[in-house]
Each structure stands twice: as structure tokens, then as C-alpha cells.
Structure 1
Amino acid sequence: MTKVVRFHEYGEPDVLRIDDIDVPAPAADEVQIAVRAIGLNRAEVMFRRHAYLQEAEFPSKLGYEAAGIVKALGSSVSEFSQGDAVSVIPTLDMARWGTYGEVINVPARHVVKHPANLSFEQAAASWMQYVTAWGALIEQAKLSAGEFVIVSAASSSVGIAAFQIARSVGATVIATTRTSAKTEGLRKAGAHHVIATAEEDLSARVKEITGGKGARVVFDPIGGPAIAQLAECMSVGGILLEYGALSPDEGPFPQFAVLGKSLTLKGYLYTEIVSEDAVLERAKTFINEGLRSGALDPLISRTFAFDQIQEATYFLESNEQIGKIVVTV
């Protein structure tokens, strides 16, 4: 029997249970992993709350990220061996391939041999954030040296990953956060500039930082009325990538800014990257090279033990962290 975190109904973190279940042998195209660390993500919170793109079938597993040791291989898997240290690139179905467990099965295309310089905790904290940020900033926006990028809700793990990826190509990062409480932490995490939107005029500060040009790229998980504010901060020909909907409110469409500056407003999903083999391979190459060189360095806010999964999730939902929350197994 294997200990696996599941939930039997939608609700708050206290619906999470540690159940003893039988984990089957891996399917032909799967890798079985003895988990050493698990990375937590806000998508898992939304899934547990019934606010995600996917419906749960109870009792439901959950989880997108993990790292550990290869325990067994499916019959068609040849690129890994028992004993390999590997980490998981989030799949397209967390209920089927949930990572919150001592032993998990994952499709081989979503498993990667991470660089040897990473701990299991760092490896479990890497793939969701870096694939998400790389896909938006590099694959789609083509961010390059000398450009400005606005990263909003910047204290999230994806926000911090965006700092590092932008810096790795020579771009300048403008981070936004609601108050100045996290300003120093965001600067230490890699932001060149930090704007507290509840205390400063966002548009005026961006114009000051960019010499009046505005930022060509915006990476935003909030949406709502903030989109109109962000559009005012953009340069001609800019692109805003919306990868979340943290705001419960709909905002007005910024038609004058969009028309006047020829802006692109694009909804962006992580699944766009992991659904295509060629794109996923480019992501793996870029990220593994960055992790190996140290240009990408996962920032871990706090670690919890496996039996503290409820406490870890409550901390995730507190929004107090800067960086990733990891559970050790």
C-alpha cells in the first residue's frame, strides 16, 4: 500500500486526506517514481475548490509536480533506467496522474532527468513555473535583450521564474505587487524595478522606468480591471499574455489603447506548450540548460513534511510566500 493525498469532496484544505491505496504497475508509456519531493501550485487549489478547467471524480488525486527516483518502467519506455533521478513536467490531467503521493505513475514524455546539481526539492520546484514563463516570454512573446517586461502578481513562483528567464535573455523586469511589503524580497529575487500598485501610479512609474516608451511584454495572471491599466503601460506593438483569472471581476476592454498602439491581448495556457512535442522539447532544453548553469535557480519559500499537506496548502493560499512551496516525502 502507498500513501497518496486525495480529496473526497470539494472544499478547503481540510478536505485533503492521506489515503493508503494500491498503486498499479506503470502502463506501457509510463514511468513509476518513488517520490522525494512535491511542488505545490495554485492550479491544485483551484481544482480542489471546483474552480478549475477540470472536474474531479471522487475520490480524486491531485498534483502537478514532483521529483524522485525511477522505480519501474512501462514496457515501451527506453529512455530511463531504474534508479534515475527525475522530475515531473506537469501533465494534462492531474486527477489521473496526481503527484501528491509516495509512489506515482507519470507518462514518460512528462518525465525529465534534471541536472545533477539540483536537490529533489529544487527539481520539484522547477517545471511548472519555468515551462509556464518560458512558453509565454520566449516561445510566444519572443522577449529579447534590451526590452522591458511587466510581471504582475510577481511574488508567485511563476513570477519569480519570469524574472530569471527575462534576465537570462537580457530583458529588464518591472514587477508589480499590491503593496510595498514584498518590495525588497522581489528585488532580491531578481526584479530590476518593483511597483506597489496600491501605493503608486502604475502608468506613470512605467513611463518613468521605460523613458516614456512603455513595456512591450506584459505577463499577467490577474485579469479583470487591471488589464486596462496594463494596456496603458505598454509600448506600440506590445503583447499582453493573460495566464490566469485571479480577479473575480470582468474589466472593460481597453479598445483605445489596443487600437492606438496595435496591441495584442492573448489568453495563454500552459497546455499550449506541453501539448506539442517539438515545443515541449525546446522548453526542456532551455530550462535544463538554465538550471545546469545557474541562470535559473528555483526559489523555495518553505518546505513541509508529507503529513503536513493541509498546513502547506493553507500557507500557499495565504499569499505570504515569495517563491515555491515544497512538500518532502
Structure 2
Amino acid sequence: MARTVRFHEVGGPEVMRLEDLEPGEPGPGEVRIRVDAIGINRAEALFRSGRYIEPVERLPARLGAEAAGVVEAVGPGVTGFAEGQAVSSVPAFSQNDYGVYAERAIVPAAALLPRPDGVDAVAGASVWMPYLTAYGALVEVGSMRAGDVVALNAASSGVGLAAIHTANRVGAMPIAVTRTGEKKERLLKEGAAEVIVSGEEDVPARLLSLTGGRGVEHVLDAVAGPGVTGLARAVAPGGTLFLYGALSGEPTPYPGFTLGMPALNVRTYTVLETTKDPRRLRRAAAFVASGLRTGAFRPVVDRLFPLEEIVRAHRHMESGDRFGKIVVTVAH
């Protein structure tokens, strides 16, 4: 038996239960892993509460897509993985089908990456989703290059910090946007070229000032809502505003007509664009692994919680009071 997190109704963190379940054997194209650490993502809180981009199809339901562990069993037709191998799972499947909040979990082999040497379980559960998201949007889709400027809000999140590191690695200029000044110095230490405190400054005006009126080539927006119009005003002609989250919880207008139909690209992005495309995932994994080897990329872990405290971990995530990734550890 394996302790497994499930929820029997949608709702707040308190609906999650830790239950003893038989992990089962992997089927064709699947792998069973012993989970040592789990990366906590907002997508899981949204799925649990019934507010994710896909509905909960059946109850009880499982949670989680990002974990690090060791291969225990390999299903028919799986190649490239062997028992005892250190691996990480990445978000490449629906939580209606699989979940890694457990001591042992079955996942598709296509959602596994070998864990690079020197990357422990906590790091292996905290680096992939943020860096795959940042790379996929800014480099793979946005073609970010040296000299570009990228503005990113929710800058102290795992994805925000990964975007700062990614921009620096390609020679771009990352401008972090944060709600209060409490995290400003930490963001500068992580490599932000400038930090704009949205509660104290006019964000679009400051972005235009910092770029000499040109505007930024890329915006990585986790908040959405009415603020997109202001951000769009600060996008350079031909630049792209990526919407990858909706933390505001408010309706998001299309800003193009309000602004007089500028040469503006607005598109949504999820990490699934990268993880579900084998060619993109191969390129992204190579980019991230290279950054880890050189030290350009590194896990930024906010707090560790044991599996028994999964409810507390989710409450901490929803509080918004974090810097980096929340990781749950699994004792065996």
C-alpha cells in the first residue's frame, strides 16, 4: 500500500485526504516511481477547487504532476528507463488520469526525464516546471534573444524566478514586477535588472521609461485581469504579451482595440505546449540541464513540508507569501 492524496469533493485545501491505496502495476507506456519529493504548483490548487482549465471528471480524484523519485517498475513497451534510475516527472498529462501526490505513483514514460547528476530529489521536484515554462514561452515561442527586454509579474514565484535566470542566460534584460517592496532586494540578487513595485509605481510608465519609450519585447503575465491593458501599452511593436496564469481572478479584456490596434501579439501559454511535444521537450530539457550544469540555473525553494502536511503546504501556497518553490518531501 502507498499513502496517496485524494479529494472526494472540490473545495479548499481541507478537502485533501491521505489514504492508503494499492499503487498497482504500470501498463503499456507507463512507469511506476517511488516518489521522494513533490513540487507544488498552483494548477493543482485550481484543479482541486474546480477552477482549473479542465474540470474534475470523476471523484475521488488525485493531484500532482511534478515529482522526483526512483523508477520501481517499467511497463510494456517502455524504453530508456530502468529500475533504480533517478527521474523527475513533468506536467505532461491530465490530473484526471494520473497524480503524483503519493508515496508511489504511476506516470506515463513520456512525462519522465532522467535526473541529471548532482540534482537531488528536492531540486528534481522544483526545477523542471518553472524552467520549462519560462523557456517554452520566452525562447521556444517568443524567440527571446540577447538585448531583448522581458517584464514579468508574480516575479517571486518559481516561474518568475526561472524567467529571470533564463533571460539572463540568453543575454536579455529581465524586469521584475512585484506587489510590495518586501521582495525587491531578493529579486535583484536573483538577477532582476530592475524591480518595479506595482503597489507604489505606474508599471507601464516605468517600463516605457526603462526602455527609452520603445517598450518591452516580452511580457510574462501570471495575473491577467484588467491590468493587461496597461501592460500591453508597454509592449514594443511586434512584441508579445504571454498570459500564463490568471491570479487576479477577474475577467481579462482584449487590449488591442482599446489601444488603437497596435502591432501587438497576445497569446495564452501553458507548459503543456512544451511537455506534450517530444521535440520541444527534448530541446527544453537540454537547455535546462545545461543551465543546471553550469550553475546558471538552480532551484529556489521557499519551504519544505512533509507529505503528512499537504494541507498546510497548499494553504501556504494560496497565501501568496512565498519566494520560490514549495516542495513536499516523502519519507519511506
Aligned with 2:81: secondary structure? coil
Task: Report the Cα distance in structure 2 between the residues aligned to 1:115 and 1:277, rounded to whole angstroms.
Answer: 19
Q: Deviations over 1:167-195 (max 9, x none)?
A: 11011100111121221122122211110
Matched AA of 2:150: V
Task: Report the Cα distance in structure 2 between the residues aligned to 1:2 and 1:192, rounded to whole angstroms.
Answer: 46
Q: Is the 8 A contact 1:258 1:264 kept in 2?
A: no
Task: Give the aligned partner of residue 297 of structure 1.
Answer: 298
Matched AA of 2:255: P
Task: Report the Cα distance in structure 2 between the residues aligned to 1:120 and 1:190, rounded to whole angstroms.
Answer: 25
Deviation at 1:259, TM superposition (A): 4.9
Matched AA of 1:310: V
Q: CA-atom RMSD, angstroms?
A: 1.4
The answer as to 2:53 corresponding to 1:53 is yes
Deviation at 1:260, TM superposition (A): 5.6
Q: Is the 8 A contact 2:136 2:271 kept in 1?
A: yes
The answer as to 2:202 corresponding to 1:197 is no
Q: Deviations over 1:211-231 (max 9, x none)?
A: 221111111011111111101
Task: Give the aligned partner of residue 71 of structure 1.
Answer: 72
Deviation at 1:249, TM superposition (A): 2.2
Equivalent positions of 1:1-329 (< 5 A) are 1-56=1-56, 57-255=58-256, 259=260, 261-329=262-330
Matched AA of 2:182: A
Matched AA of 1:263: L
Q: Deviations over 1:263-316 (max 9, x none)?
A: 111111222222222112111111121122221111000101111111111111
Task: Report the Cα distance in structure 2 between the residues aligned to 1:64 and 1:252, rounded to whole angstroms.
Answer: 30
Q: Is the 8 A contact 2:31 2:109 kept in 1?
A: yes
Normalising by structure 1, what TM-score? 0.96
Q: Is the 8 A contact 1:257 1:263 kept in 2?
A: no
**Uncovered stretches (5+) of structure 2, i.e. residues with no partner:** none
Aligned with 2:19: secondary structure? strand
Runs of 4 or more consecutive aligned structure 1 residues displaced over 3 Å after TM superposition? 256-261
Matched AA of 1:304: F
Deviation at 1:55, TM superposition (A): 2.4
Matched AA of 1:44: E
Q: Is the 8 A contact 1:149 1:215 kept in 2?
A: yes
Task: Report the Cα distance in structure 2 between the residues aligned to 1:82 and 1:321, rounded to whole angstroms.
Answer: 36
Deviation at 1:96, TM superposition (A): 1.9
Task: Report the Cα distance in structure 2 between the residues aligned to 1:256 and 1:43, rounded to whole angstroms.
Answer: 31
Q: Is the 8 A contact 1:231 1:257 kept in 2?
A: no
Matched AA of 2:193: H
Aligned with 1:225: secondary structure? helix
Task: Report the Cα distance in structure 2 between the residues aligned to 1:200 and 1:169, rounded to whole angstroms.
Answer: 28
Q: Is the 8 A contact 1:4 1:19 kept in 2?
A: yes
Deviation at 1:63, TM superposition (A): 0.4
Task: Report the Cα distance in structure 2 between the residues aligned to 1:293 and 1:70, rounded to whole angstroms.
Answer: 26
Task: Report the Cα distance in structure 2 between the residues aligned to 1:102 and 1:227, rounded to whole angstroms.
Answer: 41
Q: Is the 8 A contact 2:91 2:271 kept in 1?
A: no
Deviation at 1:147, TM superposition (A): 1.0
Normalising by structure 2, what TM-score? 0.96
Task: Report the Cα distance in structure 1 between the residues aligned to 2:268 and 2:314, rounded to whole angstroms.
Answer: 27
Deviation at 1:123, TM superposition (A): 0.5
Matched AA of 1:13: P
Task: Report the Cα distance in structure 2 between the residues aligned to 1:317 and 1:229, rounded to whole angstroms.
Answer: 26
**Uncovered stretches (5+) of structure 1, i.e. residues with no partner:** none
Task: Report the Cα distance in structure 2 between the residues aligned to 1:238 and 1:191, rounded to whole angstroms.
Answer: 20
Matched AA of 2:134: A
Percent of residue pairs bearing the same amino acid type = 43
Task: Report the Cα distance in structure 2 between the residues aligned to 1:251 and 1:61, rounded to whole angstroms.
Answer: 30
Deviates more, 1:200-209 or 1:306-315: 200-209
Matched AA of 1:45: A
Deviation at 1:66, TM superposition (A): 0.4
